[in-house]
Amino acid sequence: MASLSLLRQNSFFSATLSSQPKPKYASPGRVRMSLQENAPTIAVVGVTGAVGQEFLSVLSDRDFPYSSIKMLASKRSAGRRLTFEDKEYVVEELTAESFDGVDIALFSAGGSISKEFGPIAVERGAIVVDNSSAFRMDENVPLVIPEVNPEAMANIKVGMGKGALIANPNCSTIICLMAATPLHRRAKVLRMVVSTYQAASGAGAAAMEELVLQTREVLEGKPPTCKIFNRQYAFNLFSHNAPVLSNGYNEEEMKLVKETRKIWNDKDVKVTATCIRVPVMRAHAESVNLQFETPLDEDTARDILKNAPGVVVIDDRESNNFPTPLEVSNKDDVAVGRIRRDLSQDGNQGLDIFVCGDQIRKGAALNAIQIAEMLL
């Protein structure tokens, strides 16, 4: 079925759909430069999950130096075998002793695991880069996007003789601020309104699998299997599945509000968000409206974004070609388009932009590995 074959082109999916996945990283015959005797030791916590698998892919792609690597997961996943850079590893059960001798621990196993084992890893001397929400709003833990606020972790390095915690922001925050920050630096954002269109990958590998399954079932006229979201996801969209708070916002929306203020070190910036789950595999899209303190015209904004690290501009009005989740999937850069003056505001005090980024990659694993690179 053609529609499903497009979904299966996702490299992670081809692994998860097999009964005994055995992912491999690194092209045959490629000489690896990353395995080095004097390099740091690494542990990947949650290695069998969607982001854990992407950690390995990004480590390999970027030739991240390591002398050894531990593959850690739950007791349920322990004993599984996977191949990384032409070497076979056995997944180990996560325990306190797992972090003995580890320099950098990459966590993506959920907030409860991070809260339990993150401090243990730090106590044993590891620098933890945590992808969960467990420590993001802790005032003593830096919340870092390397292209945005690298100074927040300037004093943390491998070899400093003690452990530390660094938090990876939420995926929707990373993708948004990659585009908004270069403009904020020029004209200072006073207010930001964000609407997100979030992919299945944000809810994990099981949600991605269920989207494929539901698509098949609906096209075949069968009732869809609804285990992850308890509703039809294929050919549908709905308010983000995060719990709704007493103020009417859900937790995902409040992450964007609070994390933006912390990362920008600006408690006064006004942020509001509406987060929607859409039937897309692994890349988020976001509509962002910005109000500035000083005027910023759309041509200047376009030039700023073209020169921003980690950003690519796709903004062709003539051919109506702008960013899409599909074309940024499995890509490192965040794509920005629909750059235009907000006609509801006077002069050049506001802009509208449309942003797309791979949720598993820059929204999670790539950002974490970039943080790890800054530790060296």
pLDDT in tens, 123-164: 999 999 999 999 999 999 999 999 999 999 999 999 998 999
**Contact in structure between 53 and 12 (CB atoms under 8 Å):** yes
What was the pLDDT predicted at 35?
A: 76
Which residue in 176, 275, 284, 356 is the catalytic one?
284
At residue 7 the predicted structure's pLDDT band, cuts being 50, 70 and 90, is: very low
Pair of tokens at residue 322: 């702008």
Please compute the mean of the pLDDT values over residues 79-86 and round it to a whole number. Answer: 94
Q: pLDDT for 47-78, tens place per residue?
A: 999 899 999 999 999 999 999 999 999 999 99
Pair of tokens at residue 84: 């990384």
Please compute the mean of the pLDDT values over residues 100-108 and round it to a whole number. Answer: 97
What was the pLDDT predicted at 33?
A: 57
Domains of the chain: 2-169+363-374 (3.40.50.720), 172-360 (3.30.360.10)
CA distance from start to end of the chain: 47
Q: pLDDT for 224-269, tens place per residue?
A: 999 999 999 999 999 999 999 999 999 999 999 999 999 999 999 9
Cα 75 vs. chain centroid, distance in angstroms? 25
171 is catalytic: yes
Which residue in 171, 176, 275, 356 is the catalytic one?
171
Phi, psi of 244 (to 5 degrees): -90, 135
Q: Which residue has the higher pLDDT, 252 or 37?
A: 252
240 is catalytic: no
Core vs surface per residue 239-249: b (16+ CB within 10 A) or e: ebbbeeeeeeb
Residue count (the chain): 376
In percent, the amount of the chain with pLDDT more than 90 equals 88
**Contact in structure between 336 and 354 (CB atoms under 8 Å):** yes
